[in-house]
Structure 1
Amino acid sequence: MGDPTGATQPRRRGGKAAWTLMLLAPICGELMFSAVGMPIMWLAFPFLVPMYGAGVLLVRELTVRAGGAWPTLVVLGLVYELAEDGFGLQALTSPVMYNAAEWGPRVLGVNLTYWEAQVGYHIVFSVLIPVLLTDLLFPELRREPYFRGRGLVGIAATAVVGVALLRVTFPPSVDPGYQAPLPFLAGLLVIMLGLSWFALRVVPRRFPVPPPDVGPGTSVPGPPVLGVVALAATLGFLGLLMPRGNPPSGPAFGEGDLVYLPMAVAALLAIGMLLLFRRWSGSPAMTDQHAIWAAGGALVGHTLFMIVMVLRYPVDTLTTTVALTTGPAVILATVVLLRLLARRVAARPGWAERSVVVREP
């Protein structure tokens, strides 16, 4: 017999939204990028869900419970990346994995260029875009937790287990016997705890979820323009930092101290885009349609980048074949699915409401 009060409906929707986010995180973060150049990633997908999916879901749940908006997601996304690359893969300090030590300078034993590329990439593609898309699919839950307290504990535990599984599976086969220095891991844990406190206690007070905007605001380019800007920014950021080849060998540009130049340009590009979208998102003219186009441009851009890299620096026939077939198919599927999402959003009453991810007071 059904629930006459409908009390279970929000809980069921929350469960569907949670699973959607848990799947979108590894899809956007890995399958649409790494899998184009590393076909094995398609087989590894189920193992990515506990770490990627649960980790990003935890970031989203903590942000909503703290009353935060996208700035909180960004800071917690940084914590998420440090957990993955610092504790899970330990690629931040490994001199072997992904050839990360060759990408650029090593500062205090940390592969700095690799870290810059990964933190920018994961904040956008593993956290912000999956959360944005999930919010668009479940708009009534944008500012609501998906779980009660017990569920949050379960998700946190799953994320920790995911990091542990990542540590004992992939790294031993790539860099056997390597263990990040214990002082580094202890310091990293302190940094992560400090950033988490800052994200949940300080950032929401400075950048809370704003009320609906009224009155005129900053003019915003059309949605297609935002899509092109996001695509170009993605290609520029990745092109400045990601070395050529598979496995990557670096640096992408320059030698010695000259490597700091593209790193600085990439950082300025990322900060500039952040400020630009902050300006646009403060306007009532910024709608969910703009957000969909921006997300689509970024997603197409990072898949296109990997296709170009594989074709310019081929490894073997299988990898090239996957890049020429799966890559364009992923781009086509991205465009089609986001177009369907845009139509679905436009058909809703009050469709101009903007996303919690891009809104800014």
Structure 2
Amino acid sequence: MVLPRTRSRRAGRAHRRRQRRAAAALVLAAPAVAELTLGSVPVKMLWLVVLYVPIYGPGVLLIREVVRRTGGGAGALLLMGLAYGLVEEGLALQSLTSPHLYGAAGWGPRPWGVNAPYAELNLPYHAVFSVLLPVALVELVFRDLGRTPYLRRGGLVGTAVAALLGVALLRVSVPPAEDPGYLLPGRAAVVILGVGAAAVAAALVVRPRGGAPFSARAAVPVPGLFRLGAVCAVAAFAFLALLFPFAGAHHPAFLPRAWAPLPMAAAAAVAAAAGWALRRWSAADGWTARHRLAAATGALVAHTAFGLVSHTRDPLDTAGLALIGAAMVLLLHRLDHRLAGDPAAPQGSWP
């Protein structure tokens, strides 16, 4: 006969194992979504993805823990993702202001020395693809854990230390090799830190909105899963294509550099429209976990499709990214099948 106390201990140990697995899954999912499924790394150098794990994983896990411990939702994750992008791109890589790195200075306007098109692309990119989507996907996989923290206090401290070490690793590895001699100006560092701190402070006070009145919620029709995924795919592909890379950076006869504000404005409009639509749909009564997954799937498929036309340089890279994309779609399909067969799957807003 198993005593109740023994059953409780076993259940507690099993729960903690699930939490550790979820934390490990998020550490791996963050660099996989942000880098691997975009094709940023050539197939022959896929081992470099291992280096992305300490750069992305602990930081995104730390963000998830802070946001969930403070009761935050999608808005808080996006704000924290903005701060993450400012630290990675602004302080570690120095790419937001460097006149040399990645050729970003040639993409368009540089107000106050900031590579504006590059910043408009990468800061939202990190907020969505490095933070929001990995967190949403892992929480759907480990849906029994809900929004509860994955880490205890010691794990939280260790994750914070690992995140700082990841930033340091990025700082000492990429800029000295790819952008030797450039040092971020002190004034720019202060501004980046200030904006990042403001984003974190806002994230700590932003809370998910309460439910709308029934009449208002019922009045918003939720699109079907396929249509929702298609809308998110078109929006994601359009945003990336408008900003990365600018056609004018490589084909001046097609789009003069002076015209760069036009695609910048168009990309901002696409992002705003997609965010507004998702906010309305996710507040409706018909919104489910499968809708959440469909939106994420559309964005990820478009993300990989864009990588196929923009990042691959030879047939091997193209074939490798196509295989990665096919595996990604298969895994997402299996997750959707699990959600469809689980009446206890979480409902509610995004994410």
Letter in 1 for 2:100: V
Q: Is it true that 1:278 corresponds to 2:279 in the alignment?
A: yes
Q: Equivalent of 2:68, from 64, 68, 75?
A: 64
Give 1:252 deviation, angstroms.
11
Maintained 8 Å contact 2:43/2:320: no
3-state SS in 1 of match to 2:343: coil
Q: 1:238 is matched with which residue? A: 240
**Higher mean Cα deviation, 79-88 or 135-144?**
135-144
Give the distance between the partners of 2:253 and 2:204, measured in 1 at CA: 36
Where does 1:27-46 land on structure 2 (aligned, <5 Å)? 27-35=32-40, 38-39=42-43, 42-46=46-50
Give the distance between the partners of 2:295 and 2:193, measured in 1 at CA: 33
Maintained 8 Å contact 2:222/2:281: yes
Structure 2 residue runs of 5 or longer lacking an equivalent are none
Maintained 8 Å contact 2:39/2:321: no
Using structure 2 for the length normalisation, give the TM-score: 0.91
Give 1:30 deviation, angstroms.
0.2
Maintained 8 Å contact 2:77/2:131: yes
Letter in 2 for 1:332: A
Q: Is it true that 1:142 corresponds to 2:146 in the alignment?
A: yes
Q: 1:243 to 1:181 in 2, by over 3 A?
A: same
Maintained 8 Å contact 1:103/1:252: no
Q: Is it true that 1:97 corresponds to 2:101 in the alignment?
A: yes
Where does 1:301-320 land on structure 2 (aligned, <5 Å)? 301-310=302-311, 319-320=313-314
Give 1:350 deviation, angstroms.
2.5
Give 1:310 deviation, angstroms.
4.6
Give 1:298 deviation, angstroms.
1.1
Residues 202-254 of structure 1, C-alpha deviations (whole Å, 9 max, x = no match): x12xx35769x898352111101111111111111011101169xx7588973
Structure 1 residue runs of 5 or longer lacking an equivalent are 312-318
Where does 1:206-355 land on structure 2 (aligned, <5 Å)? 207-208=208-209, 216-243=218-245, 249=250, 254-310=255-311, 319-351=313-345, 353-354=346-347
Give 1:78 deviation, angstroms.
0.2
Give 1:73 deviation, angstroms.
0.5
Q: 1:117 to 1:28 in 2, by over 3 A?
A: same
Aligned length: 344
Give 1:328 deviation, angstroms.
1.5
Residues 41-71 of structure 1, C-alpha deviations (whole Å, 9 max, x = no match): 5221111111211111111111101111101
Maintained 8 Å contact 2:97/2:184: yes
Q: 1:62 to 1:341 in 2, by over 3 A?
A: same
Maintained 8 Å contact 1:135/1:355: no
Q: 1:168 to 1:296 in 2, by over 3 A?
A: same
Give 1:8 deviation, angstroms.
2.0
3-state SS in 1 of match to 2:180: coil
Q: 1:210 to 1:63 in 2, by over 3 A?
A: farther
Give the distance between the partners of 1:187 and 1:257, measured in 2 at CA: 26
Q: 1:316 is matched with which residue? A: none
Letter in 2 for 1:137: V
Maintained 8 Å contact 1:67/1:209: no
Maintained 8 Å contact 2:282/2:348: no
Where does 1:87-126 land on structure 2 (aligned, <5 Å)? 87-126=91-130
Letter in 2 for 1:56: V
Maintained 8 Å contact 1:77/1:122: yes
Letter in 2 for 1:10: H
Q: 1:55 to 1:310 in 2, by over 3 A?
A: closer
Root-mean-square deviation (Å): 2.5
Residues 303-356 of structure 1, C-alpha deviations (whole Å, 9 max, x = no match): 111211256xxxxxxx312332112212211211111001111222323x3266
Q: 1:34 to 1:83 in 2, by over 3 A?
A: farther
3-state SS in 2 of match to 1:4: helix
Give the distance between the partners of 1:251 and 1:106, measured in 2 at CA: 18
Maintained 8 Å contact 2:297/2:332: yes
3-state SS in 2 of match to 1:59: helix
